[in-house]
Structures are given as structure tokens and as C-alpha cells.
A and B are shown apart, each in its own frame.
Chain A
């Protein structure tokens, strides 16, 4: 039972981060390699809002969520907007540069030491005992719930929402979508906002669960295989990919060798790329354009 819980928690972490990769890729064909840094930024913003709204957890989290979403929009307006219509490779390189820049700024502003955003807002991680004797921390449980909520909302939004439909249209054929009156910049900005929001939520919950270090951004890279395994243009695929990657990692720790766990996501990725390069639920023609 504990193993299943461990797999679910790790899969939720990867899925919530990887969701950001998929959202931006689906709409603009750009791989946002600054997703890990944007996730970490969300956690640091919570640290700041926590000290501003000391003792008021709801207000602090809400403010951090709003600020993170705004950061996503600002990244699009001031950086990625200029790349629209240009080379995808240039846009990807721009996200790498953005990541480096963000990492440097975050250390300059918040320093490199281990910090606990939960302390000023009196949020403490405790254990919940589940049926079967398995245990899960409160924030890990929140992570699973938020992940389910985020994916559920995104499915509804993309399938039934007006803006969701526009996002899908812009992703499938931007030229035609623009000709039909869809404002592409608005759609792209929305994708960046949602992507940063989901990443930030993962960052905040991880930081509340086990603290915040300047090393957190590397988790962005570890979540990347989940998106690729599932298919870079499929949210459902990403969920499945995250589950497979997390299961491989947790089971390798338990039954093979803990040393393998760090490379396991990438071994799964390699295996998938050999057998099905476009991912489990990805679209074949989409991948040819990467």
C-alpha cells in the first residue's frame, strides 16, 4: 500500500510540473526549458507572501498563486512575444536563457540557503494514516488532490471552454486561427500563465512539504521525461507518462538499486523513444515538427 501511495505522490509531482511543458508545446510548439525555474519562483513567491501576510495562510497562498500567474504572462509579454512566428529553436534557447537568469536572480534575492515557506504562515506538514496502514504527508496529499483538480479543470476547459477551444485551434493551425479572429498573443499569454501556474503550485506544495532550496529547479528536468513518455501534446498522455516514470523510479528504489532511481526516468524515456518516439498518446505528425 505504501508503495502505491509513494508512486501516486511522485507521479503527481511530475505530472503537475510536466503539465506546463504540454500546455505551451500544444499551443506554440515551444519547449519551455525554464519550467523548473518558474516552479521554483512560485515557491519563493510563497516565501515572500508568507512573510507579508504572516499567519494568514489562505491570503499568502492566494497572493503567491496570483503573482505566479502574472509572472507567466510577463514572461510571454517581455520575452516570448518577440519570438512568436520566428524560429522555434530560438524560442527554446530563449527559455534556457530565461532559466539561467531566473536562477541567478532568485539566489540574489532570496539567498541560497534552505528555507521553509510554511513557517511564517504556520503550515506544518503532518502525516495522515490511510486505510491499509500507509502514510502520506498532508502536503503530499494536497499535491495529489491539486494535480487531479488541475488536470480535471484543464480537460473541461480545453474541451468545453471558449478560450480552451481557441487554444486548441491556435495549436492546430495558428494561421487559420488568426484569420478566424483568434488573438494569438492572448492565447499564448494564457498558455504561459496556466503553465506557470501549474508549475508554481507544484513548487509551493513541495516547498511546504519539505522545504525550499535553490536546487529545486532541477526537478523541472526530472519531470520532462514524463511529458515526453506520454506524448508532448497530450495531457492525458502526460498523466500516464508521469505514472510510468514514477512507478519505475519508486520500484527501482524498492527492488533493484536506489542508485538507479535517478536515471530511471531517462531510461524509461529512452525506451519510449526507441519504441514509440512520439510518446504513448502523442500525435505522430506533431513530433516530426519538433
Chain B
């Protein structure tokens, strides 16, 4: 009996080792549950679907991708422990983080120690990825600190020759506050009048008190760079208070459905990803894949994860077989992937730029006459040096 047990255990261990040695191991820590799950869970789901499709089609360089996904609940300690486990237990050759910025430090520290590249997908891009980039961190996420606000405020400035009264709203997390602080200063430089700035906790029960203060300041525009829930709940609270001004927020994954739900022509969103109403071939592909995989998230929330999948696929393809962390790192430093229209420009990583060379924005809003979402402004492009 003991021999049987030992035999079976050895066989399982051998099989596990063999399968691990015979595949590209990609590890991901993501905020699948916890306060920011609505942002990160669809990213992880899209990546899983993407890798499943690759494996079903024969893998990369003839080898499958072993995708190990772990939940960190957007907590730093859990993210650090996850990355450690992905490195030591699973021997991941590429790591992915899709979680709150507070999880970045422990993830980066562990990845640096093991000299394994770390990609940020659907999460805020850390400063390490911008030129001059240091270390092995890369980022595919659409939003870009400071550039988002520059594009937004340039658009707003162009809507009126007069001095514009503008209000701001941020979440009480460092990355959002820093962006709105930058935006407030930039708006003043552009000749706008900053009338109020609200910092809103994600745990807010009622947004009306914040909306009341903003409405009392009589802004003609409000700009918010925060989680979608904060942006939209603040906007709706302001509308209920009778405010009729313009509101511009970041086009998170939920934006397309929400613009259609609210049908408010004065609600604008700015983003780098193309909305699914364009029906690009790649978007149809995502929709088919999501339907086949019986996804719990709508396809139009999967662009970020899909882009992450495209970058991983290209990097692993370029790394060849057998691959290790060093080969993947070398591949990532010299990578250019056509986004097939999901983004206006390709994502290109170089030795000193782990973000992208070109960042291009579009602004959307609802057109009541046409009964659909329209592009309010196209091709707001920036070269990232």
C-alpha cells in the first residue's frame, strides 16, 4: 500500500515538474476581491481567456503558457507574499501585477530580488516605467500620470475662450491626489479658475455632501481622475442637486456602458482605448472569446487585460524556447506590438522607456440627437520621452 502511495506521489510530482518545465510560467497577483475588484477582476479574466486561447491553438513556440493567478485583495502584504510564492513555488519567468498602487512596492522588491520582469496591466503605471526607465518593470495600462490631465485640460480649455471655472475631484489615494494636484496647477497655468477640489474616500456612503460643496462653487467644468465609482456617483449626485455643467472623468472599463446608461451629453470621458461600439475586428474577437469562455464580465471591460495578453504573447514569442527570466527581460526591452486599433498607437518598449513611446487620447460623450456615443475629440497625442 505504502509503495502505491509513494509511487503515485512520485508520479504526480514528476508530472507537475515536467509540465512546469514544459511551459512558459506567467504569474499574476491581482485584486480579484476587495475594494477595487471591479477594476482588476475583468483584467485578470481577460488575460486568462487570452492565454487559454493561445494554449488551445498550440501555445507559443509550441509550448503552452501556464498562467498562475493569485488574489491579493489589493493588500500590500498579500501581494508581496503572492509574488514570493509565484517566484519560489511556481518559478514564474514573468510576473504581472493588476492591483492597487499600494501593492507595487512589495511586488517590485520581490521581483527585483529574483531578477524577474514585472508587468503592470490595468493598474496605475509606476514611475519606474517612464523614461529613463530603471529595472525590469513595464506597463501596458491606458492611463498615464500627468499626460491624462494635460490632454483633458487642453480639451477643456479649447471649449471656451473665456476663463473657465473648474472644479476637481480625486480619491483619497496618493496616486489620484497627485494627479489632481498636478491638474489643478496645470489648469491655473492655462488660465482657468480652480474653484474647488474635493478628496473623496472610496468608502463614502453618500456623495451628496461633496457634490453640494462643488455645486456651491459654481464650476462650468468638473474634472475627476479617480475610480469609476467615485467619478460617476459624484456626477450623479451633482446632477440631482440641479447642476448643469460639464463633467469629464477617466474612461475606465465601465465607461462605455455607463455613458449609454446615463445618456447625458455633458458627461465626457477621456481614454486611450477605443470603445467597443467601433466594432473593430479585434473587439469582435474579444467578444467571441468572452462569450465562449462564459465570462462573468462584459467584453467591453476586457481591453486592458487583452492588451496585457498581447504584450505577454509577443514577449514570450521573442524569447524563444527554452525561456528564462533573463531572455524575457531582453525581449521586453525591445518590443513593439501593434494594438490592432484597441489603442491608436502601438505599444513600444525600449531600454529606457518601459511605458510607451506614444500616448494618444480620445474623448467621448453621449450625443442625444444621434442616440449614441460620439467622439468629442480625437488624436490628442503625446510623445513620451
Q: Which residues of A contact B (CB under 8 A)?
A: 2-3, 5-6, 9-10, 13-14, 103-104, 107, 111-114, 116, 119, 125-127, 135, 137, 140, 206, 210-211, 213-215, 218-219, 221-222, 249-250, 253-254, 257-259, 261-262
Cα distance, A43 to B326, chains bound together (Å): 49
Starting from the known contacts A9-B208, A113-B297, 9 additional A-B residue pairs (CB-CB under 8 Å) come to A5-B208, A10-B206, A107-B41, A114-B38, A127-B241, A137-B240, A214-B35, A214-B37, A215-B229
Given A219-B205, A253-B213: A259 and B199 within 8 A (CB)?
yes
Q: Mind listing 12 A-B residue pairs with CB under 8 Å?
A: A6-B209, A13-B206, A103-B33, A107-B37, A111-B41, A114-B229, A135-B242, A210-B233, A210-B237, A211-B233, A215-B37, A262-B204
B172 within 8 A of A: yes
Residue of B37, B198, B202 with most partner-chain A CB within 10 A: B37
- Identify the 10 closest CB pairs spanning chains A and B, nearest first: A112-B37, A262-B201, A111-B296, A127-B240, A112-B41, A253-B209, A112-B38, A215-B35, A218-B203, A250-B209
Q: Which residue of A lies closest to B196 (CB)?
A: A258
Are A210 and B236 touching (Cβ within 8 A)? Answer: yes
Given the complex, which residues of B lie within 8 Å of A257, measured CB to CB? Answer: 199
Are B254 and A254 touching (Cβ within 8 A)? Answer: no
Given A214-B38, A262-B172, A262-B203: A104 and B212 within 8 A (CB)?
no
Are B205 and A206 touching (Cβ within 8 A)? Answer: yes
B113 within 8 A of A: no
B89 within 8 A of A: no
Partner of A140, one of B206, B210, B296: B206
The secondary-structure label for the interface of chain A is helix
Are A3 and B212 touching (Cβ within 8 A)? Answer: yes
What does the 1/0 interface line of B163-202 toward A look like (CB < 8 Å)?
Answer: 0000000001000000000000000000000000011111
Are A13 and B205 touching (Cβ within 8 A)? Answer: yes
Given the complex, which residues of B lie within 8 Å of A262, measured CB to CB? Answer: 172, 201, 203-204
Given the complex, which residues of B lie within 8 Å of A219, measured CB to CB? Answer: 203, 205
Given the complex, which residues of B lie within 8 Å of A249, measured CB to CB? Answer: 209
* B residues 329-364 touching A (CB-CB < 8 Å): none
Cα distance, A260 to B212, chains bound together (Å): 16
B149 within 8 A of A: no
Q: Which residue of B lies closest to A143 (CB)?
A: B206
Cα distance, A113 to B229, chains bound together (Å): 10
Cα distance, A210 to B172, chains bound together (Å): 20
- What's the minimum C-beta distance from A263 to chain B, rounded to whole angstroms? 9
Cα distance, A215 to B100, chains bound together (Å): 14
Partner of B241, one of A112, A126, A135, A253: A135
Are A10 and B209 touching (Cβ within 8 A)? Answer: yes
Partner of A214, one of B33, B203, B206, B210: B33
Cα distance, A13 to B241, chains bound together (Å): 19
Given the complex, which residues of A lie within 8 Å of B205, measured CB to CB? Answer: 10, 13-14, 206, 219, 222
